[in-house]
Amino acid sequence: MNITGNTILITGGGSGIGRALAETFHKLGNEVIIAGRRRQVLDETVAANPGMHALTLDIESADGIRSFADTVAKEYPKLNVVVHSAGIMRPENLLDPNDLATLDATITTNLLGPIRLTAALLPLLEKQPRSTVMTVTSGLAYIPLALTPTYCATKAAIHSYSQALRYQLKSTSVEVIELVPPYVQTELMGSAQASDPRAMPLQEFIDEVFSILKANPNVTEVLVERVKPLRFAELNGVEKYQEFFTSFNNAMLAPH
């Protein structure tokens, strides 16, 4: 992926990793469009970054995604990069039969949303000389956090989808890059996460991501050093993997 000279759409671009990616791409001279449900957050981000654009998107609505894609194609015909950063992460009690709203919202936002939006925008992306679909998964796609089982399952599914999409698009102008964050200091699970010392500082994460993209324009999987123990845990064998899974979950669940 070239990190300059693009027209880039970033979902979830008003907060967290999405906003940090948007602001960095914007500073590099790209035309950046952020999208999300919360108009006030989008407007605040645009106000802080003159020249950036914003569009409202309800990622849970299939019809809304189709009309959104039509708007993007009309207003930004040179769009050549889509970054799927929108997502929700909520704790679940799997013993509670009434805790289904979280399950439905998580699957619709984290899994169906990116798949539907990619499908809707592919005709436009394929028209460009070179274009990119960047999915944002998680280290938790490889070592699930038991506190958030559906979130982890959706990220594992997006990893699988990214691989299949890359294979199917190999003869087109569209490349597929998977960005795999570790635990990062954002407010994805509440304000306390933004200052959790166990989490990677957001700016440190972004700096490492862009150093990887700059050094290797053909990268297919962006892995900062702090996510590699999760990403490659299975290479140590079943027994070591299980030990890591247990110790990791014990450590992460302790404050809860």
189, 151 Cβ separation under 8 angstroms: no
| Count of H-run helices and E-run strands, the chain | 9, 7
Residue 151 is among the residues annotated as catalytic for this protein: yes
**From CA 203, how far away is CA 206, in angstroms rounded?**
5
List the catalytic residue out of 142, 151, 161, 183.
151
**Complete edge-to-edge strand list for the sheet that includes strand 81-84:** 53-56, 31-36, 7-11, 81-84, 131-136, 174-180, 221-223
**From CA 119, how far away is CA 121, in angstroms rounded?**
6
33, 54 Cβ separation under 8 angstroms: yes
- Select from 89, 93, 85 the least CA-distant residue to 188: 89
- Give just the sign of the alpha carbon dihedral 88, 67, 157, 215: negative
34, 14 Cβ separation under 8 angstroms: yes
Give catalytic residue positions. 151
